[in-house]
Amino acid sequence: MAITFAVTNLNRNVEGAKRVHRGTITATGTNTAGGDAVTPALFGLSVLEGLNLTPSDNGTLSFEAKWVKSTGKIKFFGTNATPGAAVADPEVTAGTSLSTYALEFEAVGR
């Protein structure tokens, strides 16, 4: 099952000619190879031009998340091995449960 995302603590701002929305995004489900899609509407925008993601306090999970603009997907990097493998930030294996994994976000667009 692909990840679905929910936004909480949405704070909407206008900075210059752009809308900059900040908050928390929480994953539910297991990740998909190549990433899981998000839409601008999830962040309260009609067009998503940039998305910065920072891990929140997630207990034992420690992954880096990156938004790939060309695909509109969030990909997770790090290791889901215990203990972690000695390789630099591989993409997290498809099918890894990321339920309740939270990220702080800054979404820029209009």
Each residue's pLDDT tens digit, 30-80: 999 999 999 999 999 999 999 999 987 666 667 889 999 999 999 998 865
Each residue's pLDDT tens digit, 2-20: 899 999 999 999 999 999 9
Q: Where are the domains of the chain?
A: 4-109
What pLDDT, on the 0 to 100 scale, is given for residue 62?
Answer: 73
| pTM listed for this prediction | 0.86
pLDDT of 102 above 80: yes
Fold of 4-109: Immunoglobulin-like (2.60.40)
48-55, strands of its sheet edge to edge: 4-15, 18-28, 102-109, 48-55
DSSP one-letter string for the chain:
---EEEEEEEEEEEETTEEEEEEEEEEESB--TT-EE--GGGGT-SSEEEEEEEE---TT---EEEEETTTTEEEEES--SSSPPSSS-PBPPTT-B-TT-EEEEEEEE-
pLDDT of 81 above 60: no
Q: Around Cβ 78, how many Cβ atoms within 10 Å?
A: 19
What would the mean pLDDT of 25-34 be, rounded to a whole number?
93
